[in-house]
Structure 1
Amino acid sequence: MPCGQPLLLMTITWMALALASPVTSLPEADKGRRKVVHVLEDETGAVIVQTAPGKVVTHRGGSITLPCRYHHEPESADLDRIRIKWTKVSDSLQFEDVFVALGRQQKVFGSYRGRVALENMGPGDASVVIHNITLQDYGRYECEVTNDMEDDTGFVNLDLEGVVFPYHPRMGRYKLNYHEAEAVCRRQDAILASHGQLHKAWLEGLDWCNAGWLEDGSVQYPIAQPREHCGDKDTPPGVRNYGYRHKEDERYDAFCFTSNLNGKVYFLKRFKKVTYAEAAKACLRDGSAIAKVGQLYAAWKIQLLDRCEAGWLEDGSVRYPIVNPRARCGGSHPGVRTLGFPDKKFRLYGVYCFQKNPEKSAARGAHGAGGI
């Protein structure tokens, strides 16, 4: 570093969050505690920046702080010359601008407009708060702090509480290219899962013998109980990986991910079974919409919906959620049971409806002038 230039360094801090899930909840003493990472110097005096391990965790619809702190020497330097920039970085090294600030000027980009603002917790705080978290916000973020010719960066991983589920449409298995898989997940209130999300689902017991697309363009599937025709019964349990496949020409199923619901899923109580068309109309008359597959999975996983009655869903499939396995409810393990895609004219099933919560005014982020 040239002599006489101000020294800029930035450290990332992370916030220990209290999660809803009992599996991932933190001890009471650690809730809300901010852990600061120490900065070391090597023998030459150059600064080594250490970023915090771990990640911040929230759910769809929530708010979260992406923590970032910096220290500037000398302390009397002009803070209006310090530039803070946040960028989202995908697994394929695509960069998406999120937020930039130079002194009092601030600008928020794209889908983050109205949802992102500086935390402003005092000198050296470059943290931003994201409100009304979406499924697409999941991922890795870069915090860059710059002063004239010097800069430093750190990374924060944003994770979401949620559930991974395998999906194939009515036309059958292995019918989707990558772009079609993206589309079917979106239609079912979900996104394509990441490798990390699928791996976590496997650790929690997900076992599925059909390969599916993931968000990064790879094709994988989780095996908890090795068996023939599922990667060989003599291989250890794990997530089988076909690698990156041709996104247009090759066809597989999809692994989708969804998170917290802005509403509730419920089984519509009726004395008679209904066809698919009658099911959709019944939900509408009840002030709701017929539930999507992702909504039923989220209700099962997060809201602990447990119902031993098969019901129509928006895609024409028939399923039911079981939290507490019991006799005549489809097996000895929790899960969402599926009866496939029956003829829509069958009058054999009930229906699951989704009622959205009333809209709330979202917290608004800061909008600054252009020219940053």
Structure 2
Amino acid sequence: KFSHLKYQLRVKIPHPGPIVAPLGSSISLPCSVSLSSVPATTSSAPIAPRVKWTVVSGGVETQILVARGQRVKVNEAYRDRAALLNYTSSPDDLSLWLGDLRSSDSAHYRCEVQQGLEDASDLVQLKVKGVVFHYRDALGRYAFSFSQAKRACEAIGARIATADQLLAAYYNGYEQCDAGWLADQTVRYPIQVPREGCYGDMDGQPGVRNYGTMNPDDLFDVYCYVEEVYGEVFHDSIPQHFSFDEAQSYCRAAGAELATTAQLYWAWSEGLDRCSPGWLSDGSVRYPIIVPRDRCGGPQAGVKTLYQFSNQTGFPEPTSLHDVYCFRGEFLAFQESVYTK
């Protein structure tokens, strides 16, 4: 003889704060459901729960997938990128797998279960960290061998990007018509709008153009990747401009150092917006733009670079005058706070 039970849903994401994952990686967002039963006044057969994952971004909630029983339907926008890891074998484990993470995946994710008239859900925040950027030698275009490309990224506080990281950046709109080394010794570049000399792939469609594995002595630019920087990039509004040497001295006097190119790209990815070209530690002059405007480098957001020549090569002369971007690491800031107490 079966007793009739009423189900009380409890949905739990056992993670107290934001889940952080690198660009181009995959992540499992944990979620579990439990049913605690109490006697019911009416008899009814148990109803298979309806499981739904949604993403909440910019005030808009978008369905990622929905499942009931053994049937799982994934939104076309997440095809091959989203799945319930263990649901078919463990129906109480609703963990969501997300692959090929992009910057735009940074958002809140809702795990929701409906059974009959009952409904329960929980939220978790995902932060996708990391930015891919193009880098070229101060002397000109296509000047790095494969080993030189890796060292060039390391010298500016980054590492050479992987193919997955470049692809993730492409899916978020990144475009660069310059062939660059990647960590697997391939040479590629991302194109959103195919055009003369920048076809993206061979049949004129947008995509990541791939030259394949190249001879390590061949010369190209490089795509670098920076994930996390511990400190702050700052730019002071000052009336005078500096030469490169004066910029170094200014940062030192502020208890800091000239920011690297990677640090500026990281600060840009975290929201830094300054329409003021400034010196960086490699002798380049750049500025970060979040909100595009005509007087600040045109209609595209990004880190803008001042080149010496019209073909976008050459860093400015060290005696030319510009603003400056400084970097104060967490260790330096901690030391300063201790010494000033």
C-alpha separation in 1, matches of 2:158 and 2:192: 24
C-alpha separation in 2, matches of 1:57 and 1:325: 25
C-alpha separation in 1, matches of 2:20 and 2:98: 18
Residue 318 of structure 1 pairs with residue 285 of structure 2: yes
SS at match of 1:354: strand
C-alpha separation in 2, matches of 1:272 and 1:174: 35
1:351 pairs with 324, 327, 332, which one? Answer: 324
Letter in 2 for 1:350: D
SS at match of 2:325: strand
1:270 is displaced (CA, Å) by 2.0
Residue 33 of structure 1 pairs with residue 21 of structure 2: no
Residue 307 of structure 1 pairs with residue 274 of structure 2: yes
Residues 269-348 of structure 1: matches in 2 within 5 Å?
A: 269-302=237-270, 304-340=271-307, 341-347=315-321
1:69 — aligned with what? Answer: none
Residue 192 of structure 1 pairs with residue 156 of structure 2: no
1:53 is displaced (CA, Å) by 4.9
1:271 is displaced (CA, Å) by 1.5
TM-aligned CA distance change 1:258 to 1:235, over 3 Å: same
1:215 — aligned with what? Answer: 183
* Count, aligned residues: 230
C-alpha separation in 1, matches of 2:323 and 2:228: 24
1:175 — aligned with what? Answer: 143
TM-aligned CA distance change 1:184 to 1:238, over 3 Å: same
C-alpha separation in 2, matches of 1:36 and 1:210: 38
For residues 123-180 of structure 1, the C-alpha deviation after alignment (integer angstroms, 9 at most, x for no partner) is xxxxxxxxxxxxxxxxxxxxxxxxxxxxxxxxxxxx9621000000101111101110
State TM-score, norm by structure 1: 0.56
Give the number of the structure whose alpha-carbon radius of gyration is greater. Answer: 2
1:246 is displaced (CA, Å) by 1.2
C-alpha separation in 2, matches of 1:57 and 1:211: 23
TM-aligned CA distance change 1:285 to 1:255, over 3 Å: same
Structure 1 runs of 4+ aligned residues shifted over 3 Å read: 14-21, 51-59
Q: Any stretches of 5+ residues in structure 1 without a counterpart?
A: 1-13, 25-29, 41-50, 60-158, 362-372
2:107 — aligned with what? Answer: none
TM-aligned CA distance change 1:231 to 1:36, over 3 Å: closer
SS at match of 1:228: coil
1:235 — aligned with what? Answer: 204
TM-aligned CA distance change 1:58 to 1:211, over 3 Å: closer
Letter in 1 for 2:265: Y
State TM-score, norm by structure 2: 0.60
1:38 is displaced (CA, Å) by 6.4
- Aligned-residue identity in percent: 37
RMSD: 3.5
Residue 266 of structure 1 pairs with residue 239 of structure 2: no
Contact preservation (8 Å) 1:160, 1:259: no
C-alpha separation in 1, matches of 2:142 and 2:100: 35
C-alpha separation in 1, matches of 2:19 and 2:96: 19
Letter in 2 for 1:33: C
Residues 66-215 of structure 1: matches in 2 within 5 Å?
A: 161-215=129-183
For residues 184-216 of structure 1, the C-alpha deviation after alignment (integer angstroms, 9 at most, x for no partner) is 101111111111100011111111111000011
C-alpha separation in 2, matches of 1:227 and 1:58: 25
